[in-house]
Amino acid sequence: MSFLNVGGESWEDLALDEGLVHMGHNCNHLELDPAIHEAMIQAIESDAYRNYTPPYGFDELAALVAADVEVSGTEVMVTQGATEAIYQAMAAILGPGDQTIVSDPGWPHIPNFARTLGSEVISISVYSPNAGWKLVPEIVRDHVTPRTKLITVIDPLNPLGSCYDEEEIKALCEIAQLNDAWLLHDATYRDFAAGGNFPAPRYSERAVMNISLSKICGFAGLRVGASIAHPALMARIREHQVDRLGGNWVAQQGAIAAYQTKPNWKPRVLEMNRRNQEAIKACVDEIDSLDIISWPPAANFVAIDVTGTGHDSEAVVRAVLDEGFVIRSGNYTSEIYGPNFVRVTTTVPDEDVRRFCDALPRALKRLT
């Protein structure tokens, strides 16, 4: 599994290198609330973690997720990250011979899971401003067939930063409903959508949504997420639960504290994220060979088209790595469009962003 590697270097080596600035995997490195650490430390010091957690997550955490998402009539199942939530939902829906609609570029594990489950993947290009850099309903309708079983929507879209409005989510739900299909709404980056995020289960009982604490809450290494669906679909998903003994006790206690304190720190994180994005845009605007994709991004990163440099995204990533910064090429998200763009995380201290903006022109100069 090499998809986490950057610039030809092992992710483990990079992650353990304290001299690097990590701006490639969209982790949140900004300060949150000390109560989060305290809750996890208490769970360890009390030896509470020696017990199994409830199979579907602590009730308190599930209730906090439900209140945050605000979709009545649904149930919440806590998972070990959004990846597990996505796989379990897809396993409950797909079978051999079914078709799954995905975007290109997109998060690569969704089509990988579909293939594992015997589904044919229908990949739709969204690398265009004409499509708004996303899987719009008009395009989806043209690709639905009698074998379409699942429409997948990454919202906001990793890796381009585009997002969906309410009417688009409603229309996608309607397409699924009319074609006896299902909608998977991957909302990992939902907290960064300035115009709001519109959970698909609010509009259809044939929709399942997943959330993650990896981005807004900084829990990437702790692995906490959740599935949200109406009872009939959730019953099917639970039959495909991977971890029958529940997730990490310590991480879930931290997650409870994160949600309890979220109103205090989330506005500050969003403000710093937007300020960092604007700083990177100002830097990119001064470089003729680069272009920002999908501005403003509804995520904690900026996607940058690098085709004007005359080099592919991997070359740009390696040059930036030599300056001490980890960013990502688009290659792992799209075989076709991946060489065209890089992605730069913006939930990092503003000093790191200033240093990155100083380093980027130097890195590109070495390529010419």
Residue 40 lies in a domain: yes
Of the pLDDT bands very low, low, confident and very high (cuts 50, 70, 90), residue 258 is: very high
Distance of CA 322 to the CA centre of its chain: 27
List Cα–Cα distances, 325 to 16, 151, 159, 219, 311, in angstroms.
13, 36, 18, 21, 18
Tell me the pLDDT band of 1, cut-offs 50, 70 and 90.
low
Helix (H) or strand (E) holding 76: strand 75-79
pLDDT at 354 over 60: yes
* Domain assignment of residue 1, yes or no: no
pLDDT of residue 11: 84
Report the number of distinct structural domains present in the chain. 2
Q: What is the pLDDT of residue 181?
A: 98
Does residue 107 sit in the same domain as residue 237? Answer: yes
In a domain, 6, yes or no: no
User: Tell me, what's the pLDDT at 14?
Assistant: 87
Taking only the tens place, the pLDDT of each residue in 71-120 is 999 999 999 999 999 999 999 999 999 999 999 999 999 999 999 999 99
316: in domain: yes
Q: Which of 235, 260, 285 is the last residue of a domain?
A: 260
Pairing of strands 291-293, 301-305: antiparallel
Judge if 84 and 222 occupy the same domain. Answer: yes
On whether both 288 and 188 belong to a single domain, the answer is no
Which strands form 291-293's sheet, in the order they lie side by side? 291-293, 301-305, 341-345, 328-329
Calpha distance 307→61 (Å, rounded): 44
Residue 283 shares a structural domain with residue 234? no
- pLDDT value, residue 9: 83
What is the CATH classification number for the domain harbouring 274? 3.90.1150.10
250 secondary structure, DSSP code: H
Same domain for 337 and 198: no
If you average pLDDT over residues 1-15, what whole number do you get?
79
What average pLDDT does the segment 294-317 reach? 97
Max CA distance (Å), the chain = 58
In DSSP terms, 76 is beta-bridged to 228
Share of the chain above pLDDT 90, in %: 95
Q: What does the pLDDT look like over 208-225, one tens digit per residue?
A: 999 999 999 999 999 999
User: Identity (one letter) of the amino acid at 304?
Assistant: I
Mean pLDDT of 326-354: 97
Is the pLDDT assigned to residue 331 strictly greater than 70? yes
Record the tokens describing residue 339, joined without a space: 């060489």
pLDDT at 8: 84
**pLDDT, tens digit (0-9, with 9 covering 90-100), for 171-191:** 999 999 999 999 999 999 999
Question: Would you say 89 and 228 are in contact if contact means Cβ atoms under 8 Å apart?
Answer: no
Among 244, 260, 276, where does a domain finish? Answer: 260
Q: How confident is the model at residue 235 (pLDDT cuts 50, 70, 90)?
A: very high
- pLDDT over 90 at 321, yes or no: yes
Q: Are residues 83 and 212 in the same domain?
A: yes
Owning domain of residue 343: 11-31+266-367
Is residue 4 a part of any domain in this protein?
no
Question: What length does the chain have?
Answer: 368
Residues 335, 245 share a domain? no
The pLDDT score that the predictor gives to residue 7 is: 78
Question: At residue 2, does pLDDT exceed 70?
Answer: no
Lowest mean pLDDT among 187-191, 337-341, 363-367: 363-367
Residues 24 and 115 both lie in one domain: no
218 and 287 part of one domain? no
- pLDDT reported for residue 5: 78
The predicted structure's pLDDT at residue 6: 81
Give 68-84 pLDDT, tens digit per residue.
999 999 999 999 999 99
pLDDT band at 15 (very low <50, low <70, confident <90, very high): confident
What CATH code is carried by the domain that includes residue 107?
A: 3.40.640.10
pTM, full prediction: 0.96
Same domain, 25 and 72: no
Average pLDDT, the chain: 96
Pairs from 137-144 (Cβ < 8 Å, separation ≥ 24): 137/168, 137/171, 137/172, 137/175, 140/101, 140/172, 140/175, 141/175, 143/101, 144/101, 144/175, 144/179, 144/181
